[in-house]
Chains A and B, each alone.
Chain A
Amino acid sequence: MATVVAEGERVVRLAEIRAAGLVRHASEHGDRDSVERSLPVAAGLRPLIPGGHLRRGSTVAVAPGSTSLLLALLAEASAAGSWCAVVGLPHLGLVAAAEAGVAVNRLALVPNPGPEWASVTAALLDGVDIVVAVPPGPVAPQVSARLTARARQRGGVLVPIGGWPGADLTLELVGGAWHGLGQGRGRLRRREVEVVAHGRGAATRARRAHLWLPDVRVDLGPVRVVGDQLTLIGPSTAKREREVGAA
């Protein structure tokens, strides 16, 4: 009898302690740690990335020819105070970067690294949270492995442009349509794109998302496929849906 009571007390005490947040499940613990060791991304990109955030130490490749996707990827972390660096991209539109929400005063640019791009990238990974690197040509596996390891060790995020052996995740734009431009009137306003993410580990199964670029921050609501036509769910509708969901 006495042992039963003691057992019950222990259970109660454990429950109290757990409620006070003094002990956690091992899984919870790991999760919390990875949140601290991660960088935020814009809401529109979260479904594409395992865990919904950029894990520090990971390598996220972006396919060439989708610079606005790259800027969208940087924006949230940069706005939250992270430093970003871009190596070997002299054509980067910085007005677009600022519009996407990247803090340009924390965006270091090395437009012409020359043959030393790998050592420059490695040096930047020491102190900068997100390093975007554009290799001048095909990358030797040793170099890519070295840089990936450097990123993992230093807790930075390496964002190579183009194919990267050993990338945790590769983001690619497939198809896109601009809106706002007519025949001799209007102007380019926004682009709806489909982004495909595939990679290793949790990202082995390819994920797809429809997004609005370049303004992933302004929540225009998700794009929904109705038949073969894309329909925009307006922000008010999206918000209402969320509220209903929360209730």
Chain B
Amino acid sequence: MRTLLLWCPDWPVIAAGITEGVSVHGPVAVLYANRVLVCSPAARAEGVRRGLRKREAQGRCPHLVVVEHDPGRDARVFEPVVAAVEELAPGVEVIRPGACALGSRGPSSYYGGEAQAAERIVEHIALTCAVEAQAGVADGVFAALLAARMGRIVPPGQTPSFLSAMDVETLDRPDLTDLLRRLGVRTLADFAALPAADVLGRFGFDAAYAHRLAAGADERPLAVRRPPPDLEVTGGYDPALERVDMAAFAAKALAERLHERLAGHGLAATRLAIEAHTEAGEELHRVWRHDGLLDAAAIADRVRWQLDGWLTGTGRAGALTGRLPARPTAGIDRLRLIPDGVVRHAGMQAGLWGEIGVADERAHRALVRVQGLLGPESVFTAVLGGGRDYADRVRLVPWGDERSPKRPGGDERSPKRPGGNPAQPPWPGQLPAPAPATVLTEPAPMTVCTADGATLAVDARLTMTGSPASVRIGREPPVRVTAWAGPWPADERWWAPDEASRLVRFQLCLADGTALLAALREELWTVEAIYD
């Protein structure tokens, strides 16, 4: 198969130059495991070679710039190059970062010849990515790669003769090459002349494949990558959307379009980014997470909530979270919905014997309706996580959002055994079960007095000035303490000044039958929770 291969020489060096700002015209070497992997032409001129140790390379070229090898960086930087090639010719296979191949038949007939096609693509890469590339055309990827290194176009049918004079080293199989050398096989022609059955029997499958390559019989079709489908939808509005109801109407249409497009590809989104752009150039971007799959109504709701918050400036969502910026100065002229976290939509399957999932569906509708009444951040479900404090272990997640705990360690299925799962961290000093049924969101002030009427104090060594005898909550008359336990110290997150808390807790049982969890924090007593 005629293959056009584009090869960027010394790609790791160029990738380092693009991302790290290293001058690629000076001597640069990319090191892996303290050995030179690739070096720039300037370094090569100074005598730096592949495989040298770092110190030796620096000895030969004292001003050598050394960069660590990062395969991720190479692949990342190569992506725009592949995209540039795809603009001119589809069906590109990335062989490795720095080399990509495509079938030559289409582009060469379109641009009027293989040479013209190669020239056009190389030029386009240079213009769009400012990267130098070489092209080679031959039968098969292996021969095309060798041809690209020489910048040659091997005429059809002449690939075996092109390969014949090459060294066996070009097969890039060091063990096999070494063995072949010792057997006196030095060129690919020598290797190709060996009987295929004997090569397979003596050297194995991989060598048999190399043997076919050496003979110029590389018939593997290209594994071309498919560009990801373009899923986002954009709506332009003229005149611009000034009012929430207009925006909501636009959002509904846009949401339906997005949903249709996703459904057309058999996909569904789990996250949704909404981008609004005003005439004055302001931009609002927010990603909505969703637990489950977003349908058209859910998408429309989210767009409406976001625009509601933004256009009215005092949106409930914005006021609660403070995440939304100030009111825009002009109307919205462009809306963009970008699906994220796209998964294959397997479809909804109702339970065979009815009922399964029906209750969930009904509840879901009711909760969404309440969200419609009160705003998105009004209906919550709780996720239990790890933590010492009862309030700390709970995270309230707005209905429809992703349910993930605040801190690891919560085992929802068996809350009585935190740390029962070995993967979950333990929380030593966690307040014991049973948990109080009322946990105050704003701790109420109180005073705890000892028998002589003085306020009970606890010092750093947890020595108490007496035992708790009476309690006054707010302005109510004092109540006698019948039983108590404590002090239970908690000194949490002292490394983060904003979140640090240092306190001691007491469980108090009062004469009127109530039981409290009291906390002493910086000489202030508060009621944290009530066991009612």
Asked if B437 and A96 sit within 8 Å, CB to CB, the answer is yes
A111 at the interface (CB under 8 A from B): yes
Known: A108-B380, A124-B366. A92 touches B434 (CB 8 A): no
A136 at the interface (CB under 8 A from B): no
Asked if B509 and A113 sit within 8 Å, CB to CB, the answer is no
- Scan residues 508-524 of chain B and give those whose CB is less than 8 A from a CB of chain A: 509, 513, 515
Distance to closest chain B CB from A26 (angstroms): 27
From A81, which residue of chain B is reached at the shortest CB distance?
B359
A95 at the interface (CB under 8 A from B): yes
CA A182 – CA B468 in complex, angstroms? 12
Q: Which of chain B's residues have a CB closer than 8 A to the CB of A5?
A: none
- Scan residues 338-367 of chain B and give those whose CB is less than 8 A from a CB of chain A: 359-360, 362-367
Q: Which of chain A's residues have a CB closer than 8 A to the CB of B440?
A: 91
A65 at the interface (CB under 8 A from B): yes
Q: Which of chain A's residues have a CB closer than 8 A to the CB of B515?
A: 178, 181, 188, 191
Q: Which of chain A's residues have a CB closer than 8 A to the CB of B374?
A: 110, 113-114, 116, 120
Q: Which of chain B's residues have a CB closer than 8 A to the CB of A93?
A: 390, 435-439, 529
Interface 9-mer from B122-130, B208-216, B391-399: B391-399
Asked if A83 and B360 sit within 8 Å, CB to CB, the answer is yes
Q: Which of chain A's residues have a CB closer than 8 A to the CB of B382?
A: 94, 97, 104, 107, 109
- Cβ 8 A contact of B532, one of A65, A97, A215: A65
From B437, which residue of chain A is reached at the shortest CB distance?
A67
From B366, which residue of chain A is reached at the shortest CB distance?
A127
- Cβ 8 A contact of B378, one of A82, A94, A112: A112
CA A46 – CA B46 in complex, angstroms? 91
CA A104 – CA B410 in complex, angstroms? 12
Q: Which of chain A's residues have a CB closer than 8 A to the CB of B403?
A: 105
- Cβ 8 A contact of A188, one of B384, B399, B412, B507: B507
Q: Which of chain A's residues have a CB closer than 8 A to the CB of B529?
A: 93
- Cβ 8 A contact of B441, one of A81, A90, A96, A126: A90
Known: A68-B437, A111-B380, A214-B437. A181 touches B484 (CB 8 A): yes
B interface size (C-beta, 8 A): 50
Asked if B359 and A129 sit within 8 Å, CB to CB, the answer is yes
Q: Which of chain A's residues have a CB closer than 8 A to the CB of B458?
A: none
Asked if A181 and B509 sit within 8 Å, CB to CB, the answer is yes
Asked if A99 and B370 sit within 8 Å, CB to CB, the answer is no
CA A185 – CA B488 in complex, angstroms? 11
A175 at the interface (CB under 8 A from B): yes
A184 at the interface (CB under 8 A from B): yes
Asked if B432 and A95 sit within 8 Å, CB to CB, the answer is no
- Cβ 8 A contact of A177, one of B370, B379, B507, B513: B513
A187 at the interface (CB under 8 A from B): yes
Q: Count the A-B residue pairs with Cβ separation under 8 angstroms: how many?
A: 167
From B394, which residue of chain A is reached at the shortest CB distance?
A94
A interface size (C-beta, 8 A): 58
Asked if A92 and B485 sit within 8 Å, CB to CB, the answer is no
Asked if A186 and B485 sit within 8 Å, CB to CB, the answer is yes
Best-surrounded residue of B365, B412, B435 (most CB of chain A within 10 A): B435
CA A42 – CA B485 in complex, angstroms? 31
Asked if A127 and B367 sit within 8 Å, CB to CB, the answer is yes
Distance to closest chain A CB from B399 (angstroms): 7
- Cβ 8 A contact of A187, one of B359, B365, B432, B441: B432
From A183, which residue of chain B is reached at the shortest CB distance?
B483
- Scan residues 207-245 of chain A and give those whose CB is less than 8 A from a CB of chain B: 214-215
Q: Which of chain A's residues have a CB closer than 8 A to the CB of B365?
A: 126-127
CA A137 – CA B506 in complex, angstroms? 33
Chain B 373-408, CB-CB to A under 8 Å as 1, else 0, gives 110001111111000001001101001000100000
- Cβ 8 A contact of A184, one of B367, B484, B513: B484
Q: Which of chain B's residues have a CB closer than 8 A to the CB of A129?
A: 359
Asked if B370 and A124 sit within 8 Å, CB to CB, the answer is yes
Asked if A184 and B436 sit within 8 Å, CB to CB, the answer is no
- Cβ 8 A contact of A127, one of B364, B381, B486, B532: B364
Asked if B384 and A104 sit within 8 Å, CB to CB, the answer is yes
Asked if B415 and A95 sit within 8 Å, CB to CB, the answer is yes
Distance to closest chain A CB from B440 (angstroms): 6
Asked if B415 and A99 sit within 8 Å, CB to CB, the answer is yes
From A119, which residue of chain B is reached at the shortest CB distance?
B373
From B320, which residue of chain A is reached at the shortest CB distance?
A112
Asked if A94 and B384 sit within 8 Å, CB to CB, the answer is yes
Q: Which of chain A's residues have a CB closer than 8 A to the CB of B286?
A: none
CA A110 – CA B435 in complex, angstroms? 21
Q: Which of chain B's residues have a CB closer than 8 A to the CB of A104?
A: 381-384, 412
Chain A 85-103, CB-CB to B under 8 Å as 1, else 0, gives 1000011111111110000
In the complex, given contacts A95-B394, A120-B374, A181-B483, what are 6 additional A-B residue pairs having Cβ atoms less than 8 angstroms apart?
A67-B532, A68-B532, A95-B439, A106-B363, A109-B380, A112-B378
Which residues of chain A have a CB within 8 Å of any CB of chain B? 65-68, 70-71, 81-83, 85, 90-99, 104-114, 116, 119-120, 123-129, 175-178, 181-191, 214-215
